[in-house]
Amino acid sequence: MASRWVKGAGLALALASLVTLSACSSSSESSSDGETVTLDFWASANGYDKVVALWNESHPDIKINLSQIPAGSVGGYSKMQNAVRAGNAPCLGQVGYDTLMNFVASGAVEDISQYANASKGQFVPWTWNMSSVGDQVFGIPVDTGPMALFYRSDLFREYGISVPTTWDEFAAAAQEVHTADPSAYLTTTPQDAYDLGALTWQAGGRWFDTANDRWQVTIDSAPTMTVARYWQDLLDRDLVTSEPMLDTAWFEKVQDGQVLSLISAVWAAPLIAENLPDLSGKWAVAPMPQWTAGEHAAGNRGGSTTVVLEGCEHPQQATEFAVWLSTNPDSVTTLIEQTGIYPATTSGQELPAANQPSEYFGGQNIYQVFKTAAENTSTGWVWGPTMSQVQSDLRDGLQRAGAGQGTIPRSVTAAQESTVAAMENQGLDVGN
C-alpha cells in the first residue's frame, strides 16, 4: 500500500473539509474466498476483549486478535506509529479523533472510503466528519465524549451545597467546601490538552481551523484564556487540587471525601463505579456549569475511531469488522456497559443500555444528561495535525502550574508558540 505523506497548503485544503461533510458512495463486501483471514487489532479501552469475542464467535472467516496497549497519550500512539514505520503494524487500531489527523499527516492510516461509505448514514454526521478528510475516510467512528459534572451527592448535602449551574457558582462552592474543611476540595484542575481543549470547546472557542489555504492556530484565543484564567484563579486561592484525575491517589482522596466532584466525559462513569464500589448510590451527574446563566453548552472530551493502519493486507475485511464494532447492537451494548461509551451511531444512542437508570448513580438515568450534553455540543471543533506535540507541551505546562512553578495562561501562550513552530517545521502553512 502506498504511503501518503502530505504537506503544506494541500493538506490544509484537504483538512478544511473537516468542517463540511463530503458525500460519496461505494459498497462494502464481506470476505467471500472461503479462507480464514486473521487481523491483529491494537486497542487501549476496557471492554474491547468482550466485543472481539462476540465477533470471533459469529465470524469464523475473519478472526480478530486483540492486543491491549497503553492509552494513546501515554505511549499507545507512538507504539502504533513506530510499528507502521517498521512495517509490522497490526491491521486495526483504536485512535481518538484528537490524534487521527497526526496519523493522516504521517501516512499511517489507510483511506477506507471504498469499503466504508455505505455505512455513513448510520453515524452522527459530525463524527463521520471527524474521521474523514474530504471524500477520504480514515476511521470508523465508535463514540463521542459528551461532558457533565460528576459529584458526590451525599457530600454536597452534607456541606449544604446546591449543584452549581454556572462557573461563578462553581467557584463559590469550591470556596465553601475548602473553608469548611481545608483538607477537602471541590474538584481537580485540568490536567492536559484534552481537558483544557474540552473546556475551551464548551466556552465557544476552537484551537484550529483553515482559511486562505493555511492553517489557523488559535490555542491562545479569548475563550481559552478565559478558561485558563478561571482555573488559575482557583489554584491561586488554593480552592482546587492539582492531583491527576482518575488515578489511584485521586480515587483514594475521593473515597476519603477530600475531592467531591469531577468534570469529565461519559466514559468516566464506569471507572468511578469500578474503583469506588463502596460509594454506590452516593454519586450523581449534572450538566456542566455555564459561563452564562441559562445556557446549555457542553464540551466533548474524547471519542475514538477504529482505523486501518497503513500496510494492512486485508483493508476490506478490517473495515467490515470496524463497521460491525460500531453498529452491531450487541457490540455497542457491550461497549456502553463495559467501556462507558456514548455511541457515534444514531441507533446506538437508542439502545436500552443507553437509556436506563444506573443503580450506582442512585437510580439516575445518567445517559439522559449526556444525551442533552451531546445535543448541545458545537460540531465545528477541528483537531490539528500535531496534537501529540500539543498534548505533550500543555500537559507539562499544566503540571508545572499545578505545582506552583508556572501558570495556566502562560502554558497556553507557550503552547500556541510551540505549536505554530512545530507545524511550520513539518512544512505546513500557518497564518492568517
DSSP for 8-54, written as a single string: HHHHHHHHHGGGS------------SSS-EEEEEEE-STTHHHHHHH
Residue 305: phi, psi to the nearest 5? -125, 160
DSSP for 292-338, written as a single string: STT---B-B---EEEEEBTT-S-HHHHHHHHHHHHH-HHHHHHHHHH
pLDDT of residue 26: 29
Report the DSSP pairing between strands 304-308 and 140-141: antiparallel
Residue 79: phi, psi to the nearest 5? -60, -45
d(CA 340, CA 174) in angstroms, rounded, equals 28
d(CA 325, CA 45) in angstroms, rounded, equals 13
d(CA 232, CA 227) in angstroms, rounded, equals 9
Topology of the domain comprising 8-144+302-354: D-Maltodextrin-Binding Protein; domain 2 (3.40.190)
360 CB contacts (<8 Å, ≥6 apart)?
Answer: 269, 272, 273, 280, 281, 283
Asked if 342 and 349 count as a contact pair (C-beta separation under 8 A), the reply is: yes
Asked if 131 and 137 count as a contact pair (C-beta separation under 8 A), the reply is: yes
pLDDT of residue 212: 86
pLDDT of residue 146: 98
Closest CA to 228 of 207, 256, 253: 207
Neighbours of 419 (CB within 10 A): 25
d(CA 36, CA 151) in angstroms, rounded, equals 49
Numbered ranges of CATH 3.40.190.10 in the chain: 8-144+302-354, 147-300+381-425
Q: Which cell is 271 given? A: 471507572
Asked if 65 and 39 count as a contact pair (C-beta separation under 8 A), the reply is: yes
Asked if 46 and 335 count as a contact pair (C-beta separation under 8 A), the reply is: no
Cα→Cα distances 5→9, 26, 126, 389, Å = 13, 25, 25, 18
Asked if 312 and 318 count as a contact pair (C-beta separation under 8 A), the reply is: yes
pLDDT of residue 399: 95
Per-residue pLDDT tens, the chain, 432 aa: give them.
Answer: 333 333 333 444 444 433 333 333 223 334 445 689 999 999 999 899 999 999 999 999 999 999 999 987 778 999 999 999 999 999 999 999 999 999 999 999 999 999 999 999 999 999 999 999 989 999 999 999 999 999 999 999 999 999 999 999 999 999 999 999 999 999 999 999 999 999 999 999 999 998 888 999 999 999 999 999 999 999 999 999 998 999 999 999 999 999 999 999 999 999 999 999 999 999 999 999 999 999 999 999 999 999 999 999 999 999 999 999 999 999 999 999 999 999 999 999 999 999 999 999 999 999 999 999 999 999 999 999 999 999 999 999 999 999 999 999 999 999 999 999 999 999 999 986
- Alpha-helix runs per DSSP H in 210-309: 222-236, 248-255, 268-275
d(CA 277, CA 357) in angstroms, rounded, equals 17
Q: Which cell is 429 given? A: 502553512
d(CA 54, CA 328) in angstroms, rounded, equals 10
380 CB contacts (<8 Å, ≥6 apart)?
Answer: 19, 206
From the centroid of its chain, how far is CA 270? 15
Asked if 41 and 52 count as a contact pair (C-beta separation under 8 A), the reply is: yes
205 CB contacts (<8 Å, ≥6 apart)?
Answer: 218, 221, 222, 223, 224, 227
Helix, strand, coil % in the chain, rounded to nearest 5: 45, 15, 35
Cα→Cα distances 252→60, 66, 247, 259, 278, Å = 44, 31, 9, 9, 12
Superfamily of domain 147-300+381-425: Periplasmic binding protein-like II (3.40.190.10)
